[in-house]
Structure 1
Amino acid sequence: MTMPAASHRSAPFRSRRHWLAGLSALGAAGVLAALPRPARAQSGYPARPVRLIVGYSAGGAVDAVARSVGQALSASLGQPFVVENKPGAGTNIAVKATIDAPADGYTLMVTANALAANMALYQPAPFDAERDLVAVSLIGRVPVVIAANADTPYAGIRDLIAAAKAQPRGIAFASPGNGSTPHMAVEFFERAAGIELQHVPYRGGAQALTDVIGGQLPLIAVNALEVQPHVKSGKLKVLAVLSPQRSAVFPDVPTIAESGFPGFEASVWYGVVAPAATPMPLVERLHAEVQKALQTPAVRERMAQVGGEVLPGPRDAFVQLIRSERARYDKLVRDAQIKPD
């Protein structure tokens, strides 16, 4: 018996034909609706403004860098990247807000060294950066500087080392606070140089600078941007920059490596992170966009203005930096018994 012509078509063929017809009927909107959620989210990203959380007050170096990068991303992606300042608890408030945000690419954080240091400083650890966040891109670094009141007898870092060896813990330095990046930088330096200084923590850099300028304390550790106007006015002098290369802000000041400590570095670094579950294709796209932003004259100039440099590179470099910095700070906090303010 001859089968009807239509019966020669297999069931799979009929299903495939009906599926294609269904797609045609659905149209583009229906196809997008049928895609997995991460694919739908990325296809039109960003469709609304993106938050850039910063764990510091407006007006500081991290805030300035975040705003510059955010403007470049806005120009490239066509949506505002809005800086949201959430200072407090050594940036832990901002980190927690980022971790708890939806992992959809609409909440990012511009962070610094505290992300690595706070896991050792605060016990129990308030978060695990490698578990709770995903590294998007490194932005750049700014050196910590050791500066002195203009009337001190130290012409350079070698003079300070000689004086400190002659009177252990007899020379005081101010910092923006216990566990701050400048404080930790000097702790690293003391161990490298074999000296002991007396740490005097302040709640922020402004009052610390005022007291060093006024002669109440001889030294301060802070980022390059904050001391620049006082060096120009002749009230402070920079003894060393704690970075591998000389600072564009202080090109005549030798680095700590040039002063007899090759390989030593204690810089403030900046990077972008996102909630851990952010889809990896979106993370990779954001990394590429930040890399583009780092090539723009505006971002490069802004980094130079705060005394630093951009650090373009693969995402894995930032992943490894967080991991290595976490281990380095963990050892320092235990050895020096540092407690947060």
Structure 2
Amino acid sequence: MNAWSRRVVLGALAGAATFEARAQGAGPEAAWPSGPIRIVVPFAPGGSTDAVARLAAPGLQRALGVSIVVENRGGAAGSLGTDVVAKARPDGLTWLLTFDSHAVLPALVPRLPFDLRQDLEPVTLIGGAPYVAACRPDKPFRDLAAVVAAAKARPGSVTFATPGNGTIGHLVMTLLGSRAGAPFQHLPYRGGGPAVNDAVAGHVDMVVGSAALLAPQVAGGTLRPLVQFGPQRLPGLAQVPTAEESGFPGLQAEAWWGVFAPARVPAPVVARFHEALVGAFRDERVSQQITEGQQARLVLAGPQELGRFVDGQVETWGRVVRENDIKAD
């Protein structure tokens, strides 16, 4: 049984005792939420994580009856905002809604000021979407083969933007360059929004981001998708081959979004917030925006599932960081 599993079991036992106390009129969580709720997004505004948080906010507000404030705290691959939550009071008024790079932090950031397993409590695995590489339509690339050929002809000349060093987009392109013998030049940005903006403006050759992040520009014709890194083609990108179809078996990378709480938030509060999140994302308008507008799939799994999933992601991408000596911004 891993650390998260033990904590979930202990939390469930504590939660049962708390509910009994609550029935007798005791327990501080009986009055939860006692004020506005803050959802910290550890990235700049305009990216997919920010968009997912803001889609959830109205439903959470209706369900919980308090104001929901989305607060962007970008920097250091998401570790600055994550640290804010890890050190917050465990009163159920501060939550973290973060992205896949969360699982890379232990390998990426030296002397990380928090421990993913000890200082944060998994709450909800919201969903995911494959990574996609895209370029402005007037760039001379039509598919992944053209990108690789250009990089081989002039190593390091083909640039790609991502939301930052050590993000999954950076790591999958590092793997691609290594396997293709065609190194690319990485240009890290402070969030998905700025990276997309510079790709649309033509300042970089490509942007690599989740299908959710790139969906509005792809739909609007300001970006041309070249390859997707999911296990199969998305319905909304049916004409775009996967990396595996393009000659790179096993090369997969998917974005995901998850919610975490500071450690020691009472189990009943975690359960109620998870329930409110599930309700917010199952709203027909919200789920349609995520599944169709952002080309993502909803999972809405609970704490144990999120804990196990993150353990696997830590192992997979941490190895890429260490083997390629990748550092945070």
Q: For the superposition of Structure 1 and Structure 2, which TM-score range results when normalised by the shorter chain? A: 0.7 to 0.9
Counterparts of 1:206 and 1:31, CA distance in 2: 49
The percent of aligned pairs where both chains have the same amino acid is: 34
Paired AA for residue 333 in structure 1: V
Q: Secondary structure at the match of 2:90?
A: coil
Counterparts of 1:153 and 1:139, CA distance in 2: 36
Where does residue 177 of structure 1 map in the other structure?
164
Where does residue 143 of structure 2 map in the other structure?
156
Normalising by structure 1, what TM-score? 0.78
Counterparts of 2:178 and 2:283, CA distance in 1: 39
Counterparts of 2:147 and 2:196, CA distance in 1: 19
Alignment partner of 2:309 out of 304, 321, 329: 321
Deviation at 1:54, TM superposition (A): 1.4
Between the two proteins, the alignment pairs up a number of residues equal to 308
Alignment partner of 1:336 out of 311, 320, 324: 324
Which deviates further from its counterpart, 191-200 or 126-135?
A: 191-200
Superposed CA deviations along residues 198-226 of structure 1, whole A, max 9, x for unmatched, are: 32334555665565456554332133345
Unpaired segments ≥5 residues, structure 1: 1-27
Superposed CA deviations along residues 293-318 of structure 1, whole A, max 9, x for unmatched, are: 33221331232323322112342221
Counterparts of 1:57 and 1:170, CA distance in 2: 27
Where does residue 297 of structure 2 map in the other structure?
309
Instruction: Pick the structure with greater CA Rg.
Output: 1
Alignment partner of 2:259 out of 272, 292, 298: 272
Paired AA for residue 240 in structure 1: V
Counterparts of 1:229 and 1:260, CA distance in 2: 28
Superposed CA deviations along residues 158-205 of structure 1, whole A, max 9, x for unmatched, are: 443455456554533233332233212322433455643232334555
Q: 1:231 to 1:214 in 2, by over 3 A?
A: same
Unpaired segments ≥5 residues, structure 2: 1-20
Where does residue 107 of structure 2 map in the other structure?
120
If asked which structure has higher relative contact order (CA below 8 Å, sep 6+), I would say 2
Normalising by structure 2, what TM-score? 0.80
Where does residue 135 of structure 1 map in the other structure?
122
Paired AA for residue 136 in structure 1: V
Alignment partner of 2:47 out of 41, 44, 60: 60
Counterparts of 2:29 and 2:196, CA distance in 1: 46
Deviation at 1:132, TM superposition (A): 0.6
Q: Secondary structure at the match of 1:104?
A: coil
Q: Secondary structure at the match of 1:199?
A: strand
For the Cα contact (< 8 Å) 1:65–1:302, is it kept in 2?
no
Paired AA for residue 243 in structure 1: G
Q: 1:73 to 1:143 in 2, by over 3 A?
A: same
**Alignment RMSD (CA, Å):** 3.0
Where does residue 19 of structure 1 map in the other structure?
none
Q: Secondary structure at the match of 2:62?
A: helix
For the Cα contact (< 8 Å) 1:185–1:267, is it kept in 2?
no
Where does residue 237 of structure 1 map in the other structure?
224
Q: 1:47 to 1:111 in 2, by over 3 A?
A: same
Which deviates further from its counterpart, 54-63 or 121-130?
A: 54-63
Paired AA for residue 102 in structure 1: R
- 1:41 matched to 2:28: yes
